[in-house]
Structure 1
Amino acid sequence: MKKGIHPDYHPVVFRDSQTGFQFLSGSTKTSNETVEWEDGNTYPLVLVEISSDSHPFYTGKQKFTQADGAVDRFNKKYGFTDANKAADKK
């Protein structure tokens, strides 16, 4: 590998600003803030807005949008009709 072209890869603590959940991971990110980790060492602290602790996919509090509402609006806008609905009306 060439010398001097790769970023400094070091341990960093990431903290979810919504839940306070923290995890230690390797990163090239730097920060002026530091935090003492469970192992007694001090690491740079990077605040993140969302992590696996607060993301709706992982927490199970996911909002589902109704796709058929969007499809109906599209069909209405462009004049398409559903053949199945037309057959039911007969």
Structure 2
Amino acid sequence: MKQGIHPDYHEVVFMDSATGYKFLSGSTKTSEETVEWEDGKTYPLIRVEISSDSHPFYTGKQKFTQADGRVDRFNKKYGFTN
């Protein structure tokens, strides 16, 4: 590896914003926010929107989005029927 061109690789804690699940991993990302981990050390905290704890592929729970289109949603919202 060429010296001086790569970002610093260190340990950080990732936290799933949806479930609060935390895990320690190596990353080049950093954060001003920190958290104390189970080993008593303080690590940067990176908040993520989805992880294996909340992703439907891993949990087996699928969220279904609304299948009808814009016109149907408008009609439902304003009480129009066909």
Structure 1 unaligned spans of 5+: 66-90
- 1:62: how far off? 2.4
The structure 1 segments of at least 4 consecutive aligned residues displaced by more than 2 Å after TM superposition are 62-65
Higher mean Cα deviation, 17-26 or 54-63?
54-63
1:27-83, Cα deviation, whole Å (9 max, x unpaired): 000100000000000000000000000000000012579xxxxxxxxxxxxxxxxxx
1:3 offset after TM fit, Å? 1.1
For 1:59, give the aligned amino acid: T
Correspondences of 1:27-46 after superposition (within 5 Å): 27-46=27-46
Q: Give the structure 2 partner of residue 22 of structure 1.
A: 22
SS in 2 for 1:26: strand
Larger radius of gyration: 1
Matched residue count: 65
Normalising by structure 1, we get a TM-score of 0.68
**Stretches of structure 2 lacking an aligned partner (at least 5 in a row):** 66-82
Who is 2:54 aligned against?
Answer: 54
Q: What value does the CA root-mean-square deviation take over the aligned residues?
A: 1.5
Q: What is the CA distance between 1:6 and its match in structure 2?
A: 1.1
When the two structures are superposed, what TM-score results if normalisation uses the length of structure 2? 0.74
